[in-house]
Structure 1
Amino acid sequence: MDPDRREIVLHLQCGIPVPFEIQVMFIPRISSPRNMAALSQSCGSIRRLCDMATRERCYQIRVNPKDSSINKAFDLLMEILRNPSLGNHVREIVQTRQPSMEHHYIQTAKLRELSADDKDLLSAAVLKAGFAGSQESAVLNMLMQNTTEAPSKALDRFKFPISAYGYGGGWNDGNIHGIFIAQALAAILISVSPNLESLVMTQPFDTFSGFYKDGERPQEDVVHFPLDQLLRRANANPEKTAYLQNLRNVYMMVDDRHSDDHYYMPLDLLECASLFDHLPSIESISTDALIDDENQEIRSTLEPRSSNISRIRICHSALPSPYFVTLIESCKTLREFQYTMGGRCVLGGWSAPFLARDFIRSICLHKDTLEVLDIDAEHNMNYFHHSCFDEGRVDEEIDKEESRFPDYEDDEVQIPPSISSINGSLKEFRALKRLSVGIGFLVYFAMGVRENNEPRQPFLLPEVLPESLEYLCIRGYEKGKCKQWDTHIDALLASFVSGSLGVKEITGIEEMIPNSEDVDNPDDDEHLLWPPIYNVNE
């Protein structure tokens, strides 16, 4: 706790009035509305400083390419430009539409009525955000639209069909125009919100055009997607950027408005991570309902051990493990990794293989820092059936499974050579506090990845759990199904009951916790579908 916070807490606990100069310094640093509301009840001067009505109105700003949302967000932007202190209250920005295709913005008549002073404020904000010259003109034109509908003649050149995954906006979709307006608005709002902590957004560039592949970038005097360009500039030179200094959490939302929430949707997660990975305060990137687009070449621009991202959460998704390896290797420090499958249907029935050996090798890079590991993908680890453990064929089965995927050697995203020689086991993870995995993965993790032909030594689970471990969740365990598993679980339970085990809580022994699965028939099993956190149509 920093000195200012300690002082104010001590004053409040002792009933001593808090000096006003400390209140002024402390209040803006509280981000939680709930904590702020509680603190505002402590005394009148703090309550006046808190200004809860303004904080609640500015805390989260949604930018959706719909008239009401766009205009409401624009009005709030103008309030912030007239009174910059309001920008200190903005903690989260939500931008809910993904570009449908790559094309240039067509400038149209400026329809908003602004005073000369407001126009000057808006122009100054665009320049300060880094859009100069022709970029300034284009972004200003986007911001000045009070509708997301572009003139029909301008849209005639953008007719295109909806793709297999639901991408594309249909014919003459006004949202094509609205995406540019929403991106411009979100970009300028970010630039005037110095305390921004969280971004919820769709992919701000177009995957299908290959727009940012092979190292290509747009010309400096052209604006394609303003939000994308703002983020790339800030991430490339964070020390020279005034905004995004406090951004900690990013949630990448798949734009599934055409899928009825039934299918996993493609998103270039690796390229999205490269928009934020060098920011000074960034901690986590997370997403849901994601699938790899096997028809799209994806090259990672993430450099090994260069990313400030330390927490990765990919849930209700269907991704092959090489993606995780690339993300994990890019982290300077990894404290949390979560991957869970299930909750959507895979288009065409394809399933994402999870290669446990390569995954364990990659997280061994972070043995001293990883605190939380949650892997719920054992349904796609076909080599972990109970008989291979009882018969001692685990390594042989994994070898067979890996040989079934030779295409990984030719993938743009593949297992780096630096990972293939790493060995390690569960016991070596000295900082691990919470572990949630399937029974097969747990036992194999405890066995460890080893050099070829190195003999396995007998062990029991209680002997190889990290001393730091506090919570253990075991999925898919059923007593009597596998003798070796039963032996490990019996020893684990005995140690837990005796108090000799450091773990404080174990779940999945008395009552089986099922492994997650893809939804086979989403029309008949809608109750199994994962509901989106954010509704893009709001």
Structure 2
Amino acid sequence: MAFLSLPLEIQVMVISRVSSIGDLAALSQSCRSIRRLCDMKTRERCYQIRVDPKDCSINKTFDLVMEILKIPKLGNYVREIVQTREPSMEHHYVQTAEQRELSAGDRDLLRAAVRKAGFAGSQESAVLNMLMQNTTKPPGETREPEPFRFPNTAYGYDHGQIHGTFIAQALAAILISVSPNLESLVMTQPFSLFPGFYRGGERPQDDDVHFPLNRLLRRANASPASTAYLQNLRKVYMIVDDRKSDDRFYMAIDFLECATLFDRLPSIESISTDALCDDENGEARIVLEPRSSNISRIHINHSALPTIFLVSLIQSCKVLREFQYTIGGRCVLGGWSAPFNAKTFIKSICPHKDTLEVLDIDAEDNMHYFHPSCFEEGRVDQEIDQRALESDNDDDDEHQMLRSFSSNSGSLKEFRALRRLSVGIGFLVYFVMGVRENNEPRQPFLLPETLPESLEYLCIRGYEKGKCKLWDTHIDALVTSFVSGSSGIKEITGIEETIPNSEDVEDPDNDEDLLWIPIYSVDD
């Protein structure tokens, strides 16, 4: 094997660049010497570290932190950190008596790590105090039964939950700072659950540690060039589900603010979430700075969001390569729905015609203007504009953002990098028709003529033959082109067998089988 002829230090460097634990496991089976270098038993233990605010987890994670501090190369094995407890809005950390007993040397190592992570002065003292707790129950406290918590509220915590949240954040922050190859973060919102916490009031003072994970991320994102950690972070998954909320409903976190914790990092690519809805009052929503974010892949699934929310994320991207938004899997609290404005959305992605590679929109159940009769009578644009007027609000920042791209125009064929497209039949036909300034008249067309040459995969949702003559005409032409081989598309789904559009769950009590099950559950 040519690999074995390389100098040992080169072999070690190559192995360290393999991020997939599966690929490493396969490589380790090739020969005995590579197996020793891969050290799979240790790598598997360090590859993903879960930080839960439970006594057993806290102590296990603390022991691993100390092990990394004593053997720094172990930090190179950490690729993903999962932190699963969100803060409460009305509590700050109160230092309590230390519960751990460390040797003088171990304590010096821990203090040095806290300082290296950027915590100084009173911040250093507070974070160190959090790390020196070995139980979520503060000294002198008696744990009370945990009260019921209503959906989308920030109440109902006992002192053990609150105390454990700070400890878990401190552990996660130090772990991040000693894991230079960290690629993935799975976490809850690291600041107050109340949306707009910082924007609604004053930010905490510099000497107030508040939530250490939040502090660490903001500091790194504000000055990534001067930060040693988070240089290789590529993807972030925001956990929306809260352990004390009713997980049958969509839930709100300040997702736009969360994006600003990572969007300037040098290697960041994607941010994802599930089961998200907007703040019910809409007061906390911000408009992100245009063309400021390094995030290029956005995946928001099983969610219920207004179009302006999605547009703000899109407009913030310097480059957009993937965008996925799907509804369904949860019930909407209060019975409202999140209408989707196809025209506004298409105009917002027009600046990314040369970079967008993957687009997946499954929200056609909330695009009621795509009824077959609207297409056959040529009044789709009028219906969209009318519904946009009815749902208009008075937010000046949002109006300014909408005006900034109101003159954008384009059609599906102009998206020259698009390889994979998954949309409803109505959205597809409207997209190929294109949006034009002042609703300029469109020339007659057939679907195969209006698809980008780069397209390799097409998924059409909600198509039923015979439901709309116009749609049938387009699909028949598409099939003919595909069968003849004149199309560059390699795979089409949703023609012979209908793929249903996703829908919000109307009755979660009787439709439990339709509820989305979280990938990362928030453990008790």
State the partner residue of 2:263. 277
2:2 corresponding residue in structure 1: 11
CA contact 1:36–1:50 (8 Å) conserved in 2: yes
Q: Deviations over 1:303-360 (max 9, x none)?
A: 1111100000000000011011110011010000000000011111110010001100
* Number of aligned residue pairs: 522
- Give the match for residue 123 of structure 2: 135
Residue 437 of structure 2 corresponds to residue 451 of structure 1: yes
Conserved? CA contact 1:299–1:412, under 8 Å:
no
Aligned: 1:186 with 2:166:
no
Could you say which residue in structure 1 is the equivalent of 2:250?
264
Query: Residue in 1 aligned with 2:462?
Result: 476
Aligned to 1:410, which of 386, 395, 401?
Answer: 395
User: How many Å apart are 1:209 and its aligned residue?
Assistant: 6.8
Work out the CA distance in 2 between the residues paired with 1:218 and 1:437. 44
Q: Which residue is equivalent to 1:88?
A: 76
- The AA in structure 2 aligned to 1:11 is A
CA 301–348 in structure 1, closer or farther in 2 if over 3 Å, else same: closer
Q: Choose the corresponding residue for 1:352, options 326, 334, 338.
A: 338
Match of 1:126 among 106, 114, 120: 114
Map 1:323-402 to 2 at 5 A. Answer: 323-402=309-388
CA shift, 1:149, in A, is 1.4
Residue pairs, 1:158-307, within 5 angstroms: 162-170=149-157, 172-208=158-194, 210-213=196-199, 216-295=202-281, 297-300=283-286, 302-307=288-293
CA distance in 1, matches of 2:170, 2:297: 28
Match of 2:93 among 81, 102, 105: 105
Query: What are structure 1's unaligned runs of at least 5 residues?
Result: 1-9
Contact 1:166/1:258 (8 A) holds in 2: no
Q: Are residue 67 (structure 1) and residue 52 (structure 2) matched?
A: no
Q: Percent identity?
A: 74
Q: Is the 8 A contact 1:379 1:516 kept in 2?
A: yes
Deviation at 1:162, TM superposition (A): 3.8
Offset of residue 299 of structure 1:
4.0
Give how far 1:489 is off. Answer: 0.4
In the aligned structure 2, how far is the partner of 1:255 from the partner of 1:396?
38
Q: CA deviation at 1:256?
A: 2.5
Q: TM-score, normalised by structure 1?
A: 0.94
Q: 2 CA distance for matches of 1:155 and 1:332?
A: 49
Cα distance, 1:357–1:438 mapped onto 2, change above 3 Å: same
Distance 2:147 2:438 in 1: 53
The structure-2 alpha-carbon separation of the partners of 1:402 and 1:301, relative to structure 1 and needing over 3 Å to count, comes to closer
1:432 to 418, 434, 437: 418
Distance in 1 between residues matched to 2:29 and 2:396, nearest whole Å:
58
Corresponding residue SS for 2:42: helix
Inter-partner Cα distance in structure 2 for 1:78 and 1:294 = 43
* Counterpart for residue 51 of structure 1: 39
What is the CA deviation profile of residues 278-321 of structure 1, one whole-angstrom value per residue up to 9, with x for unaligned ones?
Answer: 00000000000001112252243631111100000000000011
Deviates more, 1:299-308 or 1:282-291: 299-308
1:43 offset after TM fit, Å?
Answer: 2.2
Is 2:362–2:502's contact at 8 Å kept on the other side of the alignment? yes
Distance 1:222 1:279, change over 3 A: same
Using a 3 Å threshold, how does the CA distance of structure 1 residues 173 and 525 change in structure 2: closer, same or farther? farther
Q: Give distance in 2, aligned partners of 1:213 and 1:503.
A: 47
Once residues 406 and 152 of structure 1 are traced to their aligned partners in structure 2, the CA distance between those partners, rounded to angstroms, is: 53
